[in-house]
Amino acid sequence: QVQLEESGGGLVQAGGSLNLSCVASGLGTFVSYYTGWFRQAPGKEREFVAKVYWRDGSTYYADSVKGRFTISGDITKNTVHLQMTSLKPEDTALYYCHTIHRGGGADYWGRGTLVNVSS
């Protein structure tokens, strides 16, 4: 059974920082997976934030977070992190960890961790 477990959310003032973590289990090695983060703000659709392709280390970011968020991880521990800096109130959302095989097929989601940025 695949499980993604997020942690690290919380309340922070605008301009502050938070680090999110996601530990994945149940798929053996994630080397051929894209693993990353989506978020969903109240009343809005879920949107892509960032992802990493473990095989070559490629990283991808939404334009709204480029230069402020950094995705990293440890494939040996099936763990991915999202370092968030210069946080803005519009970053407030439920952040979900997500993974999908590069070839497509089933994808997997965590339950989410709440990030609340106050102005």
| pLDDT band of 43, cuts 50, 70, 90 | very high
Query: Quick check: 108 and 79 in contact, CB under 8 A?
Result: no
Q: Give the position of tokens 């392709």.
A: 53
Q: Return the minimum-mean-pLDDT range out of 6-10, 15-19, 32-36.
A: 32-36
For residue 27, pLDDT over 90 is answered with no
pLDDT for position 88? 98
58: left (phi over 0), alpha (psi -120 to 50) or beta: beta
Taking Cα atoms as reference points, which of 39, 33, 103, 112 lies closest to residue 73? 33
Mean pLDDT of 20-25: 95
Q: Which two tokens stand for residue 60?
A: 């991808």
pLDDT for position 54? 85
Query: Quick check: 39 and 25 in contact, CB under 8 A?
Result: no
Query: Quick check: 5 and 53 in contact, CB under 8 A?
Result: no
pLDDT for position 22? 96
Mean pLDDT of 42-69: 96
